[in-house]
Structure 1
């Protein structure tokens, strides 16, 4: 019986790294937008919640039938609507004798009892997370627990929403009752657990966002969002035959726009940071020096190299240009890595422009 549950749990742990990677981007955005930074303890709890939910879902869908064209279950109905029917199953299968206490331990080996026990246990962590981390009321916990259990049962009775020809597990109202009971037990247990753990509502009490360093991870996300926006802009400028579309796009998006938004691009707005210079209001000169060096100088040289390749320059010139660009980009990559691993170093375009990132 226990091996039946270990199989889906092992799959949940094996696939968790993939889910964690997919979860990281929306997690970071929400944390930056809502709190202004990422708290390690909050992150730990949310990733544990993700791992728990994966285990719960895998437990209700695995093991899968060998084929999507599975045979119909040998039952009269795909649903069991009689409340507390599990008591009849336990009484039918049990070797427990009411007036012989030593037989009570037999329950721990009997399928009907263990099925009920694990259905309760399945959602206990759900109730704990709802109360401790998400700070829900008991009414919301009750409704969410019922909703989660309904999701489980509907997933099963529909054969994974039509992927399989027939249900390979049945809808059972007792399962909904036990899952809901588990959620509420977890809600009650969370009150005791909360006294042993840090209070979620107090995690940010002593945090000074103005003194926090803007990490390269955060800046990297802003960079990716900005260039996701810039790519179609550059394509449109090229289609419209705007002279020097790359330079025009950089000036408009990274210099003109941040000047009017006081240091913010769309990417920086998403991760809740902005640029500042010698004063709180960033100047056109500071923006021009910063992004002129980064995108017009570093990026511009790479653009010229690509253009040279497109225009089929003589082979000897392309060999020289390729070697020169390799050395230049290698120097820039090493420079960035040194700044990433040494907090006291500044990127050269930040040092020359006197600009830096702050949390907005």
Structure 2
């Protein structure tokens, strides 16, 4: 009777791939933990120096740069939420350490554009749109529509990640990075 089971090397490879998956739930937990830590830092910083609080986009980008670029660069792709809590790492596509420019571009796309759009840009344009009664309203409306479409695409990307195991977010495709379990 012929052996119908896959070779051991294939079974080991499949097991390794499943172990290396950074599931949506693990990534979400890491995200929440990291944001709680970052919010605590921003609140404390805002109390000490009000101009450097979360309401300042440049301050926000600086905090993102330190916490989500510098920290992972020097800690093998981890942050406190990723490495300490859920044991995932941010790596290059070939699972080598992600380079500085990869981390910088990846985190700018996610935290600078996607989340920056949601928390800074859209609210700012909404205020301008609401206060403008002249001919600029069409301009602000167009900007809001573009920002809204970008935000919708980002949210659709999250839905795909939730339901399709091993899928990648748009910024991971663009930077040849991914998150793996360890």
TM over 0.5: yes
How far the C-alpha of 1:258 sits from its partner, in A, is: 0.6
Give the root-mean-square deviation of aligned CA atoms: 2.6
Q: 1:223 aligns with which of 31, 41, 48?
A: 31
Map 1:261-300 → 2, pairs under 5 A? 261-269=75-83, 270-277=85-92, 278-300=94-116
The Cα offsets for residues 138-193 of structure 1, whole Å up to 9 and x where unpaired, read as: xxxxxxxxxxxxxxxxxxxxxxxxxxxxxxxxxxxxxxxxxxxxxxxxxxxxxxxx
Unaligned runs of 5+ in 2: 1-11
Q: Is the 8 A contact 1:210 1:359 kept in 2?
A: no
The Cα offsets for residues 27-86 of structure 1, whole Å up to 9 and x where unpaired, read as: xxxxxxxxxxxxxxxxxxxxxxxxxxxxxxxxxxxxxxxxxxxxxxxxxxxxxxxxxxxx
- Whole-angstrom distance in 1 between the partners of 2:142 and 2:41: 32
Map 1:115-126 → 2, pairs under 5 A? none
Structure ranking higher on relative contact order (CA contacts 8 Å, 6+ apart): 2
Q: Is the 8 A contact 2:126 2:144 kept in 1?
A: no
Question: 1:251 maps to which residue?
Answer: 65
- Assess, with a 3 A threshold, how the Cα gap between structure 1 residues 210 and 335 changes in structure 2: closer, same or farther: closer
Give SS of 2:180's match: strand
- Whole-angstrom distance in 2 between the partners of 1:229 and 1:309: 29
Question: 1:234 maps to which residue?
Answer: 42
Q: Is the 8 A contact 1:209 1:359 kept in 2?
A: no
Give SS of 1:276's match: strand
- Assess, with a 3 A threshold, how the Cα gap between structure 1 residues 210 and 324 changes in structure 2: closer, same or farther: closer
Give the TM-score normalised by structure 2: 0.72
Q: Is the 8 A contact 2:73 2:103 kept in 1?
A: yes
Q: Point out the structure with max Rg over C-alpha.
A: 1
**Corresponding pairs, count:** 155
Give the TM-score normalised by structure 1: 0.39
